[in-house]
């Protein structure tokens, strides 16, 4: 009997120790994770009584908490809600958080370990817990120019603008957008109705097309192929390349053709400068075959392909195909086949060229400050990759300036500012219209901004879709908004 009691006692002690160990583990290591869960309603009830910190753009709140006369104490509000929705995200009692509201939640609600002394002071002085403010890098003029450019013509697509020297995101717009105030309301019945409407809308207004959607980049990817060619040492802007109207692809009866069905520059041979100016498919298809898949893949990765960028906004990786055969490689060299890129990624390509070949890590949170304006976090610019040498970057810049001055990028030309750009029109399938692209940076001799515009749906005839014609003017407006302020 004594032996049985001892075994039972030992088992009870082991179970007790296991319970204590589990409780300690949860308290010490998983408490914040559990508190951050969107479905933790007990914590959510408590947090809705916290004076949540504002999200700032150019020092002005675009998301803030105001006192309310109901059980939730504070109401989260979004000024110019649709303009910043895909960056701020939403803060909803029923559906949790997204965007910066989610990734900076512990700072905004004041529970982050970095704010422990602030919480102690508030406890001693009897104040309510108050969250920190999160300042974004967005430029309000650039953001508005990008949104107006898409919305005024009812385009579906995205615009991203970067500071080439730092990687700071100056504009990030996705269209169509939505109003996060609809999900932050304390009228939970209306919130539920709004959620159903937004999530079933075929236009997907809650999708952040700027960082979470990948598209075939079309001829804007020729900048990556060009970078690989110039970096190989076998080519320069004056090197003659094949430029026939039609290129016979190996291993298939299909041909690669130029968009206008003609050769480039009036000849079956053109310089690399003329091939880029006229966005010659056959020239860049041949370049891709000559360079090989490994060279193009390595070059794309140096610009950031294959990596997630802006994870704070749920950014996804852009992709170059793993093992294309020769016809697929020729198509990949002009941004077709299985090449996929986010607008953010193509803005990074332009920004890397603008920054002497050095690609900077993109970021959208500039700083975090306590309620008494003490800075507790400050983002420092960080180099990501050296995509090309400064010499190669300078050659590409000259060629991109020529595209705007003398080629397909003419709609982005500015009177007093030299713009470097590249157009793109990406084919998808016979049952849907092409995508229109434009990437650019300016001023070409001292870049202040790099832009990528991707138009997914333009609502015009298929024959009228061209990157320069549709996306070029939007890029121009965003550039002007940054450099003319």
3-state SS, 363-417, equals: ECEEEEECCCCCEEEECCCCEEEECCCHHHHHHHHHHHHHHHHHCCCHHHCCCCC
> What are the residue numbers of the active site?
219
Of the ranges 1-15, 263-277, 398-412, which is most confident?
398-412
Work out the average pLDDT over 232-259: 88
Q: Which helix (H) or strand (E) holds 297?
A: helix 293-302
Q: 132 near 376, Cβ under 8 Å?
A: yes
pLDDT, greater one: 73 or 206: 206
pLDDT, greater one: 127 or 452: 452
pLDDT of 468 reads 77
* Count of CA atoms in the C-beta half-sphere (13 A) of 323: 0
Q: Percent of the chain, pLDDT > 70?
A: 91
pLDDT of 433 reads 82
Coil, strand, or helix at residue 68?
coil
pLDDT of 302 reads 98
User: Is residue 244's pLDDT more than 70?
Assistant: yes
Q: Which of 73-82, 263-272, 284-293, 474-483 has the lowest mean pLDDT?
A: 263-272
Integer angstrom CA distances of residue 264 from 272, 286, 327: 10, 13, 21
User: Is residue 431's pLDDT more than 90?
Assistant: no
Q: 49 near 98, Cβ under 8 Å?
A: no
pLDDT of 427 reads 81
* Of the candidates 393, 375, 439, the residue with the CA atom closest to the CA atom of residue 412: 439
User: Is residue 259's pLDDT more than 60?
Assistant: yes
pLDDT of 51 reads 85
Handedness of CA 481, 482, 483, 485 (dihedral sign): positive
Integer angstrom CA distances of residue 12 from 1, 19, 24, 26: 16, 10, 18, 21
Cβ-based neighbour number of residue 475 at 10 Å: 34
Work out the average pLDDT over 406-427: 93
Spell out the long-range contacts of 414-420 with Cβ–Cβ below 8 A and sequence spacing 24 or more. 414/442, 414/476, 414/479, 414/480, 417/442, 417/443, 417/479, 417/480, 417/483, 418/442, 418/443, 418/444, 418/445, 419/443, 419/444, 419/476, 419/479, 420/350, 420/353, 420/354, 420/444, 420/447
pLDDT band for position 131 (50/70/90)? confident
Q: Which of 156-165, 371-380, 458-467 has the lowest mean pLDDT?
A: 458-467
- Bond into 443 cis (ω within 30): yes
Q: 288 near 330, Cβ under 8 Å?
A: yes
Q: 451 near 441, Cβ under 8 Å?
A: yes
Work out the average pLDDT over 462-473: 77
Residue by residue, DSSP assigns 135-153 as EE---HHHHHHHHHHHHTT
Q: Which of 253-262, 330-339, 409-418 has the lowest mean pLDDT?
A: 253-262
List 66's β-bridge partners, or say none. 75
pLDDT of 32 reads 61
Coil, strand, or helix at residue 266?
coil
pLDDT of 15 reads 77
User: Is residue 47's pLDDT more than 80?
Assistant: no
Q: 419 near 402, Cβ under 8 Å?
A: no
Residue 375 within any structural domain of the chain: no
Write out pLDDT tens, residues 139-194.
999 999 999 999 999 999 999 999 999 999 999 999 999 999 999 999 999 999 99
Q: Residue 324: which CATH number? A: 3.40.710.10
Average pLDDT, the chain: 90
| Number of folded domains that form the chain | 1
User: Is residue 273's pLDDT more than 70?
Assistant: yes
pLDDT of 469 reads 86
Q: Which helix (H) or strand (E) holds 247?
A: strand 246-248
* Cα 334 from Cα 350, distance rounded (Å): 16
Nearest-5° Cα angle at 152, 84 to 136:
20
Coil, strand, or helix at residue 158?
strand
Residue 340 within any structural domain of the chain: yes
* Of the candidates 271, 263, 267, 275, the residue with the CA atom closest to the CA atom of residue 240: 271
User: Is residue 221's pLDDT more than 60?
Assistant: yes
pLDDT, greater one: 337 or 114: 337
pLDDT of 279 reads 92
pLDDT of 123 reads 54
3-state secondary structure labels for all residues of 198-213: HHHCCCCCCCCCCCCC
pLDDT band for position 234 (50/70/90)? very high
Residue 315 within any structural domain of the chain: yes
pLDDT band for position 281 (50/70/90)? very high
Residue 255 within any structural domain of the chain: yes
List 378's β-bridge partners, or say none. 367
pLDDT of 27 reads 65
pLDDT band for position 252 (50/70/90)? confident
pLDDT band for position 30 (50/70/90)? low
Residue 318 within any structural domain of the chain: yes
Work out the average pLDDT over 55-69: 95
Residue 78 within any structural domain of the chain: no
**Cα Rg, the chain, nearest whole Å:** 26
Residue 413 within any structural domain of the chain: yes
* Cα 323 from Cα 396, distance rounded (Å): 27
Work out the average pLDDT over 400-417: 94
* Of the candidates 266, 271, 243, the residue with the CA atom closest to the CA atom of residue 256: 243
pLDDT of 33 reads 64
User: Is residue 14's pLDDT more than 90?
Assistant: no
Range of the domain at 402: 218-365+380-483
pLDDT band for position 220 (50/70/90)? very high
pLDDT, greater one: 171 or 28: 171
Q: 374 near 113, Cβ under 8 Å?
A: no
User: Is residue 367's pLDDT more than 70?
Assistant: yes
pLDDT band for position 37 (50/70/90)? low
Residue 435 within any structural domain of the chain: yes
Q: 225 near 333, Cβ under 8 Å?
A: yes
């Amino acid at each position: 009997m004594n032996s049985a009691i001892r075994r039972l006692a030992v088992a009870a002690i082991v179970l007790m120790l296991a319970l204590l160990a589990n409780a300690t583990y949860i308290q010490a290591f998983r408490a914040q994770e559990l508190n951050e869960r969107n479905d933790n309603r007990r914590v959510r009830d408590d947090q809705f009584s916290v004076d949540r910190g504002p999200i700032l753009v150019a020092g002005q709140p675009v998301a803030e908490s105001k006192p309310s006369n109901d059980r939730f104490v504070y109401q989260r509000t979004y000024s110019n809600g649709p303009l910043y929705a895909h960056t701020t995200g939403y803060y909803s009692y029923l559906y949790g958080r997204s965007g910066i509201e989610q990734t900076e939640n512990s700072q905004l609600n004041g529970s982050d370990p970095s704010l422990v002394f602030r919480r102690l002071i508030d406890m001693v002085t009897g104040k309510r817990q108050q969250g920190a403010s999160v300042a974004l890098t967005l430029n309000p003029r650039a953001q508005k120019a990008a949104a107006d450019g898409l919305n005024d013509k009812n385009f579906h697509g995205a615009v991203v603008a970067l500071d080439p020297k730092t990687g700071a995101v100056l504009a990030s717009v996705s269209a169509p957008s939505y109003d996060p105030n609809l999900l932050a309301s304390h009228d939970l019945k209306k919130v539920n109705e709004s959620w159903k409407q937004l999530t079933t809308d075929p236009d997907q207004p809650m999708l952040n097309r700027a960082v979470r959607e990948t598209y075939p980049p079309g001829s804007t990817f020729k900048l990556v192929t060009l970078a690989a060619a110039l970096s190989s040492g076998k080519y320069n802007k004056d090197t003659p390349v094949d430029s026939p109207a039609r290129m016979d692809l190996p291993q298939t009866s299909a041909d690669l053709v130029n968009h206008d069905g003609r050769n480039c520059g009036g000849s079956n041979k053109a310089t690399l400068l003329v091939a880029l100016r006229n966005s010659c498919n056959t020239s860049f298809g041949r370049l891709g075959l000559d360079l090989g898949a490994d060279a193009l893949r390595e070059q794309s990765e140096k610009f950031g392909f294959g990596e997630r960028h802006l994870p704070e906004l749920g950014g996804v990786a852009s992709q170059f195909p793993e093992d294309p055969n020769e016809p697929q490689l020729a198509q990949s060299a002009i941004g077709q086949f299985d090449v996929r890129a986010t607008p953010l990624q193509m803005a990074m390509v332009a920004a890397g060229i603008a920054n002497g070949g050095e690609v900077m890590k993109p970021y959208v949170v500039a700083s975090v400050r306590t309620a008494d304006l003490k800075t507790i976090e400050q983002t420092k610019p960080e180099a990501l990759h050296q995509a090309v040498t400064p010499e190669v970057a300078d050659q590409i810049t000259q060629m991109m300036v020529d595209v705007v001055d003398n080629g397909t990028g003419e709609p982005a030309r500015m009177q007093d500012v030299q713009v470097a750009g590249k157009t793109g029109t990406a084919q998808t399938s016979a049952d849907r219209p092409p995508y229109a692209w434009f990437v650019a940076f300016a001023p070409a001799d001292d870049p202040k901004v790099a832009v990528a515009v991707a138009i997914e749906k333009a609502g015009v005839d298929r024959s009228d879709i061209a990157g320069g014609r549709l996306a070029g003017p939007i890029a121009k407006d965003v550039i002007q908004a940054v450099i003319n302020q």
